[in-house]
């Protein structure tokens, strides 16, 4: 990383900065080994050339997902790449197969939903964006395919997100391996549910994190042979036991102590607790509470977690009694006793805590005091009790507390493992290691020493893995790597753990000697390691020492090393707690073997720590490792803040920079042949001429530039550190020379352009001056012409003025003369008009008087004449009154004849010949009656004439008239009455004659109806016979089933109704018995079934032909509907005609690939469905047959659906305008297809980076243009709104192919270019876009930052975080067009209903449809013939 590179003036470099770690700038001056840099933040920096690193100016705007792809693999390049991706919310980045996860400090649910899991399932590593799911998937696939266990090491400092990453790993592994449940809960849930318990007893607040894990956790997820999860186990390592007794400010002890102090009041009183400040193990620090965390709520949550894990209430009570006892043990203080080197309890307070401890532990108080203050030494001769001084008694007290807490923690882990359940037969597992990271504080004690020792071990394992990856890469490319040396950290590990001269060994040795102190221990270290390059002795301290770790130097204070390392197994403590009355506590301390109990054996925490670490490393070495390095971007734990210095320190501590250093020792820069030639081809243009091989061309370029040490692999060029910068410097020189040449050409072009402009300007000035002179000459000529014109106009004006004066005088004279003549004429006309009006009024008066006289005379004459006529009429009526009786008798006779005629008409319905004879007789009788009536009318008329003559004679005799005047009036009245009756009788006769004519017409109709009725009854009788035979075969005991009886009754009723509707005869009882009228002879005749079968076969053969259309009406559909309606197929329980018709249509569609044939049958099917639907609705609304409901399988729609399930499902139709298919169906089909295209293309664009390129956008845009042209040709009638369904992909493609994206603002993009797309979708497209054609960049960083701010504000909305379109718009497999029409609307297909078809189609009149020639002449299809006009 420190290799010198070729840096020149103008180079873009990275320089160190104390505030932000690294700052970029441009070299403006080089003086010797010093360079002056103009930084981008405005500062001017002077730095040594050896401390500068080149900056890649062609790096992608969104960074790279794998940092091995960086052109310059160094610290500032790595840091810049992580910062760039973090700003885009891309929190995961690869370094080879190592995953770096930066904690976002916010919820990103769209990264972890089930859809994202499905995307990464089985995907090759590196194909998709970096993700924790990709690492878990690789581990799972390796375990399944290779049969070897795998492990995933999650490391990082406190707050970096290790626990959350571990949860995501287990979620994904559970998703892949199935969810094997135990007692209703999955293994993953049980492991996660145990986290609150382990965090309460194993986590504590540290300087950098409020919830730091103070132990290592290795979760083993066990799998069976089928790859399904069969069990799990939680292994804990390296618990920080010393924290129980000693903590530093501002840290806290383990959470469980504070939770118990914040428990409900009855719990606190039960355990005799109080404020945490009153306990020695807690008040060593001034931090008692965490910001934003309620210990009382956490206590209840821990209790609930214990219930879930399976810890009983009694066990929970025992656990918290032990925790309370530890707090009381810490408050036991000792003072010097009366004897030498003895100790006693300091005061009553200590006595109270001792008694409380004994009460909680259920042991004897005196025995507990002796165990703390005394030791038993067993010799061959006797047993000696030795008192301890106050210091050693305090050490014994703390040792007891640490031992109890350690045993309690181990019991919790065992309980959790037993609750989860393990698979003893499992041979494959995936382990997830969650362990604390490297720590370096201002004050570093024994805990930091152990933690850093662990990280040194893990780093060695990590370095070996990186070295192995490098070897695999070099071997794959077949290059020579044998001379490359990699630096290891084995010397640091030897310094710490080597026997007998390691730090841990010297510490254990010092702890064995009672007189040893931390000063003697430090001096021993100085003497032993004074020449070790990894060990440094501070100048100003006599007890501190420094160790140079891989992550940097750490200064350790050895003041408490001895105390924290001691871990005696005290026999008195063991014996005391083993005899406890509490079974839980005695179970924590089972009896030791006899040889162990007789003496106290020394045991140190450092030695146990080393043993556990060795066991962990053995487990990791037996598995295939995968690494995840978690990084905390800032110390304020807030999103969108990236602290470079903090992140750089974590990269060092996490070993990422160490891995980069290992890569730099070999070939850090690797480029494919295409990328290398694309970038450095300008250095040797002749190498690219012709059809030269890429590998040969790369080698020529490198040899031409004089580089040595590079390697040419099979697919890549491998460059040593600094060679990439050397090539970039040469490339910059070539580009600079080219730029100078271009500048010269441009300047020449500009000067020539200026010269041409100057020449044009001079010509323009000359033209202007010449024009000016011409204007002056023209002005002089215009003045002369104007003077002449003024003179002419002046003379004309004078002449015109004299003419006008003369003309006005003449006009005045003429006006006066004409006015006088007009007044005279007006006066004459006025006088003439008045005279005419007077004459007219007089003549009108005269004529009116004459008219009134004539009117009066006419009225008098009319009255006299009317009186005369009235008298004549009176006499006539008197004569007719005498004949009234005869008229009444004739009327009765006529009525009797009419009744007889009606009866005979009814008889005519029974027998045709009798009806004709009756008709002739009745007609003759009616004729004679009419003649008789006419004769009587003539006779009456003659009598009236005679009466008139008599009346005239009477009038001629005045004396007789006067005598009979009174009788005349009465006779006149009687005559009027008789006249009225006669007119009424005449009208009645006319009406009866009309009825006779109507009766004749109806008789002919009845004859035709009776013939049809006979045929119908014959069919009904045949059907009844068939039904009787079926009933006999099904149930021999029943001669006639209820269904057959109902059919007979319906047939009889139909006869009644039909005959009743005719209204030809009022007596219906004469035709109520069809058996009396129609007797069936016993001659054999063709059965109804055979006849109907022949008709059906003929119909099937007919519709199988292409019958065409009658107007806009399909003939086949109309013929089918008429036949079904006539045959009453809707009323029968089961008939095969439906199935045969549908099978015929399906066979025609299946055997024909012609679109016209398919469109023809679609039109027939839609028309038939419309007719059937209207018929069924009509029958349902009138309520005629509610009892005729059929089962779904027997209905027309059910049988159509069952028949068409076997039709081809993948028919591809091209619906054309010439077909009779309803445009509504065509619009539905293409709208659904375009919606499917929109969803699939848009989701592929967001998920695949190769789809989000400029060339792919042009390709898709061309396809969309073809679709748009198709929609234009199809018109809105058939295309409808299908084009609008593509709005998402159209706007996204428009954004991809638009130029000058960096100049576009967020407002223009979101409102003008892509108003439909969400911020998440725009953000995804902007960050994944890459221009493979012109090499342009995506939108500006400011727009990306604004998008990220908007996404952060809306991060709590899970719906807005999803950038994919909902799969609910997915298109089902399109069935055939006939299947679309005939499928029940409730089935999943293109959504529409029969009502939609009814609304989209006009009413169809099928009455005038001509039947085809094949069935026109058949007698069974006479009903298809249209009625005569």
The alpha carbon torsion through 818, 823, 824, 826 (nearest 10 deg) reads: 120
Instruction: Report whether 592 contacts 583 (CB < 8 A).
Output: no
State the CB neighbour count (10 A cutoff) for residue 1101: 12
Torsion (CA) 1200, 1203, 1209, 1211 in degrees, nearest 10: -70
Catalytic residue check, 580: no
Q: Which of 11, 95, 213, 396 is catalytic?
A: 213
Annotated catalytic, 846?
A: no
Catalytic pick among 158, 236, 1326, 1346: 158
161 annotated to bind ligand: yes
Active site residue: 90, 439, 447, 922, which one? 439
Please indicate if the annotation marks 162 as binding a ligand. Answer: yes
Report whether 1255 contacts 1332 (CB < 8 A). Answer: yes
Q: Are 67 and 94 in contact (CB under 8 A)?
A: yes
Strand-pair partners of 275: none
Determine the Cα–Cα distance for residues 1206 and 1199; give it in Å rounded to an integer: 12
10 is in an annotated binding site: no
- C-beta of residue 1318 within 8 angstroms of C-beta of residue 1274: no
Is 159 catalytic? The answer is yes
Q: Which residues of 1309-1337 are buried (b: 16+ CB within 10 A; e: fewer)?
A: bbeebbeebbbbbbbbbbbbbbbeeeeee
Active site residue 955: no
156 is in an annotated binding site: yes
CA distances from 502 to 452, 536, 923, 1081 (A): 15, 15, 147, 127
Please state the φ and ψ torsions of residue 1063, each to the nearest 5 degrees: 60, 25
β 343-345/374-378 pair status: unpaired
Q: How many CA atoms lie within 13 A of 429 on its CB side?
A: 22
Distance CA 1071, CA 1203 (A): 45
CB 718 within 8 A of CB 708: no
Q: Is 1164 a catalytic residue?
A: no
913 assigned binding-site residue: no
Question: Radius of gyration (Cα) for the chain, nearest Å?
Answer: 59
State the catalytic residue, choosing from 203, 212, 669, 1207: 212
Pair type for strands 21-31 and 12-17: antiparallel
Q: Does the annotation flag 160 for ligand binding?
A: yes
1257 is in an annotated binding site: no
Here the tokens at position 1174 are 């209207």
Active-site residue, from 25, 62, 63, 159: 159
Quick one: which H or E segment has residue 218? Answer: strand 216-223
CB 635 within 8 A of CB 646: yes
DSSP code for 254: B
Catalytic entry in 369, 437, 654, 1257: 437
Half-sphere exposure of 961 (CA within 13 A, CB side): 11
What is d(CA 865, CA 859) in angstroms, rounded to the nearest whole number?
10
List of residues 6+ apart from 1349 with CB closer than 8 A: 640
Q: Running DSSP on this structure, what letter comes out for residue 124?
A: P
Backbone angles phi, psi at 908, to 5 degrees: -65, -25
Residues 6+ apart with CB under 8 A from 514: none
The set of residues, in sequence order, having a beta carbon less than 8 Å from that of 177 and lying 6+ positions away, is: 140, 221, 223, 227, 228, 229
3-state SS, residue 236:
strand
Strands 229-237 and 216-223: what pairing? antiparallel
- Active-site annotation holds for 1238: no
Query: How far is the C-alpha of 553 from the C-alpha of 557, rounded, in Å?
Result: 13
Q: Which of 209, 210, 236, 623 is the catalytic position?
A: 209
State yes or no: is 40 an active-site residue: no
Measured in residues, the chain has a length of: 1429
Please give the Cα distance from 642 to 909 (Å, whole number): 108
227 is catalytic: no
Among 163, 194, 394, 1310, the one annotated catalytic: 163
**In sequence order, what E strands does 353-445 have?**
374-378, 383-387, 428-434
Q: Is 690 annotated as a binding residue?
A: no
- Hey, which residues does 218 pair with through a beta bridge? 235, 433
In terms of Cβ atoms closer than 10 Å to its own Cβ (0-12, 13-18, 19+), residue 790 is: exposed
Q: Quick one: which of 143, 332, 323, 321 has its CA closest to 227?
A: 143
Residues in binding site for ATP: 156-163
Annotated catalytic residues are: 158-159, 163, 209, 212-213, 437, 439
Residues in binding site:
156-163
């Amino acid at each position: 990383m420190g290799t010198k590179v070729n840096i020149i003036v103008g180079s873009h470099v990275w320089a160190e900065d104390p505030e932000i770690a690294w700052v970029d700038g441009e070299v403006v001056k080089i003086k010797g080994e010093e360079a002056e840099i103009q930084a981008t933040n405005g500062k001017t920096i002077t730095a040594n050339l050896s401390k500068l690193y080149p900056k890649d100016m062609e790096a992608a705007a969104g960074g790279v997902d794998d940092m091995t792809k960086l052109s310059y693999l160094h610290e500032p390049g790595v840091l810049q790449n992580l910062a760039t991706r973090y700003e885009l919310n891309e929190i995961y980045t690869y370094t080879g197969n190592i995953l770096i996860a930066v904690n976002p400090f916010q919820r990103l649910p769209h990264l972890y939903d089930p859809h994202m899991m499905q995307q990464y399932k089985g995907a090759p590593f590196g194909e998709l964006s970096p993700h924790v799911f990709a690492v878990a998937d690789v581990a799972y696939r390796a375990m399944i395919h290779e049969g070897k266990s795998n492990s995933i090491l999650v490391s990082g400092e406190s707050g970096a997100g290790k626990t959350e990453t571990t949860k995501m790993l287990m979620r994904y592994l559970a998703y892949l391996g199935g969810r094997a449940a135990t007692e209703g809960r999955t293994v993953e849930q049980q492991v996660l549910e145990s986290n609150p318990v382990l965090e309460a007893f194993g986590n504590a607040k540290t300087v950098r994190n409020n919830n730091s894990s103070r132990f290592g956790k290795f979760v083993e997820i066990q799998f069976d042979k089928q790859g399904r999860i069969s069990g799990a186990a939680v292994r804990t390592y390296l618990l920080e036991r010393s924290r129980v007794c000693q903590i530093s400010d501002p840290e806290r002890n383990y959470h469980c102590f504070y939770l118990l102090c914040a428990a409900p009041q009855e719990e606190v009183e039960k355990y005799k607790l109080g404020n945490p400040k009153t306990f020695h193990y807690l008040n060593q620090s001034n931090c008692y509470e965490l910001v934003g965390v309620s210990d009382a709520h956490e206590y209840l949550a821990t209790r609930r977690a214990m219930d879930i894990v399976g810890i009983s209430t009694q066990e929970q009570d025992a656990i918290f009694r032990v925790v309370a006892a530890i707090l009381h043990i810490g408050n036991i203080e000792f003072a010097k006793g009366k004897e030498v080197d003895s100790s006693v309890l300091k005061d009553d307070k200590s006595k109270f805590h001792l008694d409380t401890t004994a009460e909680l532990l259920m042991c004897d108080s005196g025995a507990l005091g002796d165990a703390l203050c005394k030791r038993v030494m067993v010799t061959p001769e006797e047993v000696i009790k030795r008192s301890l001084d106050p210091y050693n008694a305090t050490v014994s007290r703390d040792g007891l507390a640490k031992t109890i807490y350690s045993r309690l923690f181990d019991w919790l882990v065992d309980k959790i493992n037993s609750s989860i359940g393990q698979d003893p037969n499992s041979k494959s597992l995936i382990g997830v290691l969650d362990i604390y990271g490297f720590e370096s504080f201002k004050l570093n004690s024994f805990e930091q020493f152990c933690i850093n020792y662990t990280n040194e071990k893990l780093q060695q394992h990590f370095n070996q893995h990186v070295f192995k990856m490098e070897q695999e890469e070099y071997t794959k490319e077949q290059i020579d790597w044998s001379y490359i040396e990699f630096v290891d950290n084995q010397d640091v590990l030897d310094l710490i753990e080597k026997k007998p001269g390691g730090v841990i060994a010297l510490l254990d040795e010092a702890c064995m000697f009672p007189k040893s102190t931390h000063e003697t221990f430090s001096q021993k270290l100085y003497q032993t390691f004074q020449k070790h390059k990894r060990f440094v002795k501070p100048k100003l301290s006599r007890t501190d020492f420094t160790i140079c770790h891989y992550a940097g130097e750490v200064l350790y204070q050895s003041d408490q090393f001895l105390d924290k390392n001691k871990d005696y197994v005290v026999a008195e403590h063991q014996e005391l707690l083993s005899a406890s009355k509490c079974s839980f506590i005695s179970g924590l301390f089972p009896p030791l073997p006899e040889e162990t109990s007789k003496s106290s054996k020394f045991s140190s925490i450092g030695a146990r720590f080393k043993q556990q670490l060795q066991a962990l490393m053995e487990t990791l070495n037996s598995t295939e490792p995968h690494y995840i390095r978690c990084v905390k971007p800032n110390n304020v734990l807030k999103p969108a803040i990236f602290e470079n210095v903090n992140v750089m320190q974590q990269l060092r501590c996490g070993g990422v920079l160490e891995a980069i250093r290992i890569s730099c020792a070999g070939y850090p820069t690797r480029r494919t042949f295409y990328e290398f030639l694309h970038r450095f081809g300008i250095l040797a243009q002749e190498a690219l001429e012709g059809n030269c091989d890429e590998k040969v061309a790369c080698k020529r370029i490198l040899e031409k530039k004089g580089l040595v040490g590079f390697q040419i692999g099979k697919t890549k060029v491998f460059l040593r550190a600094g060679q990439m910068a050397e090539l970039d410097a040469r490339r910059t020189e070539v580009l600079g020379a080219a730029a100078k040449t271009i500048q010269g050409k441009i300047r020449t072009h500009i000067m020539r352009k200026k010269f041409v402009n100057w020449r044009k300007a001079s010509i323009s000035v000359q033209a202007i001056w010449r024009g000016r002179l011409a204007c002056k000459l023209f002005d002089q000529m215009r003045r002369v012409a104007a003077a002449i014109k003024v003179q002419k106009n002046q003379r004309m004006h004078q002449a015109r003025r004299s003419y006008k004066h003369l003309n006005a005088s003449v006009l005045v004279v003429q006006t006066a003369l004409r006015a006088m003549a007009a007044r005279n004429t007006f006066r004459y006309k006025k006088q003439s008009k008045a005279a005419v009006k007077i004459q007219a009024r007089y003549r009108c008066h005269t004529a009116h008087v004459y008219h009134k006289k004539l009117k009066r005379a006419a009225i008098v004459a009319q009255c006299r004449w009317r009186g005369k006529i009235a008298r004549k009429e009176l006499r006539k009526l008197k004569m007719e009154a005498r004949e009234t009786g005869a008229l009444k008798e004739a009327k009765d006779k006529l009525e009797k004849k009419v009744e007889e005629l009606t009866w005979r008409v009814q008889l005519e319905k029974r027998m045709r010949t009798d009806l004709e004879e009756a008709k002739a007789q009745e007609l003759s009788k009616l004729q004679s009656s009419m003649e008789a009536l006419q004769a009587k009318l003539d006779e009456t008329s003659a009598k009236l004439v005679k009466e008139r003559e008599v009346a005239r004679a009477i009038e001629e005799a005045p004396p007789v008239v006067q005598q009979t005047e009174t009788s005349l009036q009465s006779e006149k009245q009687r005559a009027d009455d008789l006249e009225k009756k006669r007119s009424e009788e005449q009208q009645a006769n006319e009406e009866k004659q009309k009825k006779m004519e109507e009766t004749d017409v109806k008789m002919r109709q009845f004859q035709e109806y009776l013939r049809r009725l006979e045929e119908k009854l014959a069919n009904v009788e045949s059907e009844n016979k068939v039904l009787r035979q079926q009933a006999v075969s099904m149930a021999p005991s029943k001669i006639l089933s209820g269904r057959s009886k109902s059919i007979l009754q319906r047939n009889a009723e139909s006869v009644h109704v039909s005959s009743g509707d005719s209204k030809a005869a009022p007596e219906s009882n004469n035709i109520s018995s069809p058996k009396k009228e129609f007797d069936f002879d016993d001659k054999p005749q063709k059965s109804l079934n055979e006849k109907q079968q022949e008709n059906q076969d003929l119909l099937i053969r007919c519709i199988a032909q292409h019958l065409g259309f009658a107007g806009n009406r399909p003939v086949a559909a109309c013929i089918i509907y008429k036949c079904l309606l006539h045959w009453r197929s809707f009323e029968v329980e089961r008939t095969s005609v439906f199935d045969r018709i549908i099978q015929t249509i399906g066979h025609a569609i299946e055997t024909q690939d012609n679109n016209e044939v398919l469109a023809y049958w679609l039109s027939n099917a839609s028309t038939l469905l419309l007719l059937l639907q209207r018929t069924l609705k009509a029958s349902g609304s009138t309520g005629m047959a509610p009892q005729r409901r059929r089962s779904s399988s027997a209905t027309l729609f059910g049988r159509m659906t069952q028949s068409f399930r076997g039709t081809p499902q993948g028919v591809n139709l091209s619906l054309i305008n010439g077909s009779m298919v309803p445009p509504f169906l065509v619009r539905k089909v293409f709208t659904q297809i375009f919606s499917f295209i929109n969803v699939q293309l848009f989701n592929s664009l967001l998920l695949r980076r190769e789809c989000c390129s400029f060339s792919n956008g042009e390709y898709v845009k061309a396809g969309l243009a073809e679709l748009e042209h198709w929609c234009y040709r199809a018109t809105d009638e058939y295309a409808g709104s299908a084009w609008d369904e593509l709005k998402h992909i159209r706007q996204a493609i428009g954004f991809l192919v638009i130029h000058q994206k960096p100049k576009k603002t967020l407002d223009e993009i979101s409102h003008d270019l892509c108003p439909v797309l969400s911020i998440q979708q725009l953000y995804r497209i902007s960050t994944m876009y890459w221009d493979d054609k012109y090499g342009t960049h995506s939108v500006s960083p400011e727009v990306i930052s604004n998008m990220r701010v908007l996404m952060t504000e809306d991060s709590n909305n899970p719906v807005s975080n999803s950038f994919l379109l909902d799969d609910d718009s997915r298109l089902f497999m399109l069935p055939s067009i006939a299947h679309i029409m005939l499928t029940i609307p409730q089935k999943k297909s293109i959504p529409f209903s029969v009502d939609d078809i009814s609304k989209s189609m006009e009413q169809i009149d099928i009455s005038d449809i001509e039947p085809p020639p094949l069935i026109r002449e058949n007698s069974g299809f006479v009903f298809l013939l249209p009625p005569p006009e």
